[in-house]
Amino acid sequence: MIIDCHAHILPPEIVGDLASFAERDPHFSLLTRTKNARFLTGEDLIRDMDDQGVDRSIVCGFAFKDTGISRLQNDYCAELMRSYPERIAFLAVIDPEAPGALAEVERCLSMGACGVGEIFPAGHGFDLQGGGMKKVAGLCREAGAVVLIHVNELVGHCYPGKGDVGPLAAYRFAVDNPGLTTIFAHFGGGLPFYAAMPEVKDLGHVYYDNAAQPLLYRPSVYLALKDLGILDKIMLGSDYPLLTWTRYVKEIASSGLREGEQEMILGRNAWIVFGKFFRSRAEGNRSQRQNTLD
């Protein structure tokens, strides 16, 4: 079973007019200027999942400071979930400090969103300990939902989109929000490598995805995480369409992990967190009919 906890899609109207939308958000503009950057739709995602043997994905768009554009993407992701309830769950994108952000989170949770993310604190210039983020975190904790946060390593090579929100900010957020299921993208900027410290190891509500691992770390990183005793906290997060799932599978297979340990990262850990958000086709149809009646 392969579950991707971090895949980006965009509605066709944005994919078909990237330049125009890039003018409306500096962070999105930076992403569009990244070398070899690709932006694909939900149908592209389903096709690629089928081609590469991926069972389920948690999808999101790209947060904009303009909540209206975030709402457009959230509606698109919700529709894809309704079309593929057994395979797709979605996270709501928002800038927590933007007008209307809290209402948008409430709306998306009512539509069946499994949480909020990917949140870009460095890209949009807000503090993870700020008022807007505290309110979003509170809503998600009450709903039993998940928060996915973009965090970067603060050493190594530079690249577009690399920010200055690292493991310290992630740790402080985790400590301030006990009980909130939190996934820090990109190995939490290195936070899990501090798991030899009891304070970090004891963050039971915190998980990490391996987004961009082939571009950042050698496969031996997984053995280091195993030695630290936190393989159960690591999830596949492709950052689709940044890299193919096949590449992650090969990297993990070459790491020296046993087959069962590889399966934890590729799907079992994510199922523990996200399994409850996937529905059977019949359940999805019933929900869609109820939404129509409402």
Quick one: pLDDT at residue 117? 96
Give Cβ neighbours of residue 51 (< 8 Å, ≥ 6 apart): none
CB within 8 Å of 215: residues ≥ 6 apart:
159, 243
DSSP-assigned states of every residue in the chain: --EEEEEE---HHHHTTHHHHHTT-HHHHHHHTSTT-----HHHHHHHHHHHT--EEEEE----SSHHHHHHHHHHHHHHHHHSTTTEEEEE---TTSTTHHHHHHHHHHTT--EEEEE-HHHHT--TTSHHHHHHHHHHHHHT-EEEE----SSS---TT--S--HHHHHHHHHHSTT-EEEETGGGGGGGGGTTSHHHHT-TTEEEE-TTHHHHS-TTHHHHHHHTT-GGGEE---TBTTS-HHHHHHHHHTTT--HHHHHIIIIIHHHHHHGGG---HHHHHHHHHHHHH-
Please spell the DSSP secondary structure of 44-94, one letter per residue.
HHHHHHHHHT--EEEEE----SSHHHHHHHHHHHHHHHHHSTTTEEEEE--
Angle subtended by helix axes 42-52 and 67-83, to nearest 10 = 40
Number of domains in the chain: 1
Place of tokens 């190995």: 187
Q: For residue range 153-189, what is the model confidence (pLDDT) as tens digits?
A: 878 887 767 777 899 999 999 999 999 999 999 999 9
For the residues 199-228, what does the mean pLDDT come to?
A: 97
Looking at residue 101, what is its pLDDT? Answer: 97
The CA dihedral of 68, 73, 76, 78, to the nearest 10 degrees, is: -90
Which residue's structure tokens are 């997984």?
Answer: 222
Any idea which of 87-91, 192-196, 240-244, 286-290 has the lowest mean pLDDT?
286-290
Give the CATH number of the domain where residue 92 resides.
3.20.20.140
Residue range of the domain that includes 200: 3-293
- In this predicted model, what pLDDT tens digit does every residue of 47-96 receive, in sequence order? 999 999 999 999 999 999 999 999 999 999 999 999 999 999 999 999 99
Tell me the pTM. Answer: 0.94
Mean pLDDT of 240-252: 97
